[in-house]
């Protein structure tokens, strides 16, 4: 039976295996394991790629978000606005900075922060806004920034799924006061383990993040503030240098796969396809559709050899970890509906056209079967007639 994995990192790394091994040997030969020249070179390369002046490499995307908030002075008693339809790390970073997450719902088409709802969420305690560039598409940054600037509130871009995405010609990370990236292995730019980065045009913020990632020291054993160990490994910096050179080619491959999915699924009933905002460049970290009977469709596709995912089945405001916020079902209806319907199809540069076609065909067959079942269930059944006795 044909099998299409949700992600195939072996195929991704096979063409660059020799380069990676050579880079590892270079790191071993220099013993530059924690920070060091390989990380520094990657920081320069990634800042140039994003179009920012500075990049500070850290241990993970979660570290990036957390340290960005700390660098802005966010702390206990503060509020940070974000969306409930995101990975848990966005809210965790707010909590670990000592602040309270405040949510606004997402746009129904793009799954990113709805700017029309932002102003009403701002209070005197609001210290930052975190729009999430979900699934590879940037949030609607112009109105978000206009509202934030009018209120004097800094903006932190959660670009952990948006390496190379663009909005009005500028790349993710270059719009807000700080931009945060994850290099988890499955990302468009993935390390061979954990990794992250903060990019910014503000020299003072960059210096503060760099201190915070290294125990609060500007020079060894002189600690100006309490920090943390969030340094990037030299091995990851070396690997990311190699993989960054191929990021644009990989993003273009993802966009071709997305176009093929759209063409093949254009006539499929019961499926909502991703919407690419005009003036934006979606890099399709994930190709997310919405379907009825999502859980059943997911199971059936898996049985047919198509391995999909769900990003994400429970919005953050309904997670057990945030029960103490007192938020209820129905408060963020768009996020809740999407959480019940989203289905992530296989998406990575190494997919073949035949694999994309197979996935689309199996999804259409599955949706047709479910539509027929629902139609049959909706047809009124004849009721027995009582015949009076003579």
Does the structure show a pLDDT above 70 at 116? yes
pLDDT at site 374: 66
pLDDT tens digits along 24-79: 999 999 999 999 999 999 999 999 999 999 999 999 999 999 999 999 999 999 99
Residues 135 and 276 in one domain: no
Q: Is residue 365 part of a domain?
A: yes
pLDDT tens digits along 229-283: 999 999 999 999 999 999 999 999 999 999 999 999 999 989 999 999 999 999 9
Q: Is residue 1 part of a domain?
A: no
Residue 171: partners with Cβ closer than 8 Å, 6 or more residues away: 49, 50, 51, 164, 165
Task: Determine the Cα–Cα distance for residues 317 and 328; give it in Å rounded to an integer.
Answer: 8
Q: Residue 380's pLDDT band (boundaries 50, 70, 90)?
A: low
Residues 271 and 128 in one domain: no
Residues 290 and 223 in one domain: no
Q: Is residue 174 part of a domain?
A: yes
Average pLDDT over the chain, rounded to whole? 95
Residues 147 and 181 in one domain: yes
Task: Determine the Cα–Cα distance for residues 26 and 19; give it in Å rounded to an integer.
Answer: 11
pLDDT at site 41: 98
Read off the CATH number of the domain in which 64 is found.
3.40.640.10
Read off the CATH number of the domain in which 327 is found.
3.90.1150.10
Does the structure show a pLDDT above 50 at 113? yes
Task: Determine the Cα–Cα distance for residues 243 and 16; give it in Å rounded to an integer.
Answer: 8
Q: Is residue 378 part of a domain?
A: no
Domain holding 19, by residue range, is 9-244
pLDDT at site 124: 98
Residues 181 and 272 in one domain: no
Residues 68 and 202 in one domain: yes
Q: Is residue 47 part of a domain?
A: yes
Residue 180: partners with Cβ closer than 8 Å, 6 or more residues away: 61, 64, 65, 68, 156, 157, 158, 159, 160, 173, 196, 197, 198
Other CB atoms within 10 A of residue 101 CB: 22
pLDDT at site 373: 73
Residues 257 and 219 in one domain: no
Q: Domain end: 244, 267, 288, which one?
A: 244
Residues 132 and 259 in one domain: no
pLDDT tens digits along 291-304: 999 999 999 999 99
Tokens at 229, concatenated: 């160990």
Q: Residue 209's pLDDT band (boundaries 50, 70, 90)?
A: very high
Q: Residue 375's pLDDT band (boundaries 50, 70, 90)?
A: low
Q: Domain end: 244, 259, 294, which one?
A: 244
Tokens at 333, concatenated: 């209806």
Q: Residue 387's pLDDT band (boundaries 50, 70, 90)?
A: very low
pLDDT at site 377: 63
Q: Is residue 3 part of a domain?
A: no
Q: Is residue 145 part of a domain?
A: yes
- Greater confidence (382 vs 71) lies with 71
pTM over 0.75: yes
Give me the number of domains the chain comprises. 2
Does the structure show a pLDDT above 70 at 385? no
Among the listed residues 303, 344, 249, 348, the one whose alpha carbon sits nearest the alpha carbon of residue 7: 348
Residues 194 and 265 in one domain: no
- Greater confidence (374 vs 88) lies with 88
Q: Is residue 118 part of a domain?
A: yes
Of the chain, the percentage scoring pLDDT greater than 90 comes to 93
Q: Domain end: 209, 227, 244, which one?
A: 244
Residues 62 and 196 in one domain: yes
Residues 81 and 149 in one domain: yes
pLDDT tens digits along 139-164: 999 999 999 999 999 999 999 999 99
Residues 196 and 256 in one domain: no
Question: In terms of residues, how long is the chain?
Answer: 390
- Mean of the pLDDT values across residues 222-232? 96
């Amino acid at each position: 039976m044909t099998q299409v994995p949700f992600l195939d990192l072996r195929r991704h790394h096979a063409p660059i295996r020799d380069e990676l091994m050579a880079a590892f040997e270079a790191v071993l030969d220099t013993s530059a394991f924690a920070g060091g020249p390989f990380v520094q070179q990657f920081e320069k390369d990634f800042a140039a790629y994003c179009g920012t002046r500075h990049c500070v490499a850290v241990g993970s995307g979660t570290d990036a978000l957390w340290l960005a908030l700390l660098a802005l002075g966010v702390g206990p008693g503060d509020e940070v606005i974000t969306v409930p339809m995101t990975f848990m790390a966005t809210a965790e970073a707010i909590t670990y900075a000592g602040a309270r997450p405040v949510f606004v719902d997402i746009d129904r088409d793009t799954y990113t922060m709805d700017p029309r709802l932002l102003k009403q969420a701002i209070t005197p305690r609001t210290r930052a806004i975190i729009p999430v560039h979900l699934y590879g598409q940037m949030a609607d940054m112009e109105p978000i920034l206009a509202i934030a600037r009018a209120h004097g509130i800094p903006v932190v871009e959660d670009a952990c799924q948006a390496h190379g995405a663009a909005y009005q010609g500028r790349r993710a990370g270059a719009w807000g006061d700080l931009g945060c990236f994850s290099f988890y292995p499955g990302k468009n730019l993935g390390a061979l383990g954990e990794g992250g980065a903060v990019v910014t045009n503000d020299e003072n913020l960059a210096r503060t993040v760099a201190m915070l990632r290294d125990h609060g020291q500007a020079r060894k054993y002189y600690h100006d503030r309490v920090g943390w160990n969030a340094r990037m490994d030299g091995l990851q910096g070396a690997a990311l240098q190699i993989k960054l050179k191929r990021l644009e080619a990989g993003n273009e491959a993802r966009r071709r796969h997305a176009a093929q999915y759209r063409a093949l699924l254009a006539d499929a009933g019961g499926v909502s396809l991703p919407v690419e905002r005009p003036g934006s460049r979606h890099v399709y970290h994930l190709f997310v559709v919405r379907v009825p009977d999502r859980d059943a469709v997911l199971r059936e596709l898996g049985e047919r050899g198509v391995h999909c995912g769900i990003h994400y089945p429970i919005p953050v405001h309904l997670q057990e970890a945030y029960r103490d916020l007192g938020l209820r079902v129905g408060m963020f209806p768009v996020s809740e509906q999407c959480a019940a319907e989203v289905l992530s199809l296989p998406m990575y540069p190494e997919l073949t056209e035949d694999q994309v076609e197979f996935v689309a065909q199996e999804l259409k067959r599955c949706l047709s079967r479910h539509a027929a079942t629902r139609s049959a269930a909706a047809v009124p059944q004849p009721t027995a007639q009582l015949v009076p006795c003579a």
